[in-house]
Amino acid sequence: MLKGFRDFISRGNVIDLAVAVVIGAAFTAVVEQFTNSFLKPLIKLVSGGKDVSGTFTVGDKKTGVIFDYGSFINVLIGFILTAAVVYFLVVAPMNKLAELRKRGIAPEPEAPSDEVRLLTEIRDALVARGDGGGPQAPVRPDPRTQPPQR
């Protein structure tokens, strides 16, 4: 069971996923701020300075249930604006770049060097043999990078 967990962690997918979540959270803050700073004021300008707001009550005023449909509409507008920002600033340019690469106009990403490819093959062979995740020998400091001892 622990070997399976070690293999799962060492695949690299977990790291990629963690990086994607962190970048996604940071990007969410950027998109929300763009929406709040530019798009919502633009909507207020077009609508004459009004927010979409409103409620209705089912039952009497004291014990009835209040439905706040205005807040839902505001969140829905925010979601649509966020989706539009993501599409036009990320998805559409990436699709255009992929199309240019397909036609041979844009340069392809650089292939890994021979050293990187060889190290990847060695790592994969060690993992397949079961030697890729064990304890490692201590690393000696490089004497060229160490300050002189007194």
In a domain, 140, yes or no: no
91: in domain: yes
pLDDT band at 117 (very low <50, low <70, confident <90, very high): confident
Residue 119, in any domain of the structure: yes
pLDDT at 99 over 80: yes
Does residue 43 lie in a domain region?
yes
Q: Is residue 64 part of a domain?
A: yes
Domain assignment present for 145: no
Count of H-run helices and E-run strands, the chain: 6, 2
Q: Find the CATH number of the domain harbouring 21.
A: 1.10.1200
- Per-residue pLDDT of 31-87, as tens digits, reads 778 777 887 787 778 777 766 667 888 888 788 898 888 778 777 877 887 788 788
Q: Check residue 114 and give its pLDDT.
A: 81
pLDDT at 132 over 60: no
- Provide the number of structural domains found in the chain: 1
Task: Report, as an integer, the average pLDDT of 95-116.
Answer: 78
135 within domain boundaries: no
> Quick check: is 139 in a domain?
no
CA distance 34 to 89: 11
Tell me, yes or no, if the pTM score tops 0.75: no
Q: What is the extent of the structural domain holding 13?
A: 2-129
Distance of CA 72 to the CA centre of its chain: 26
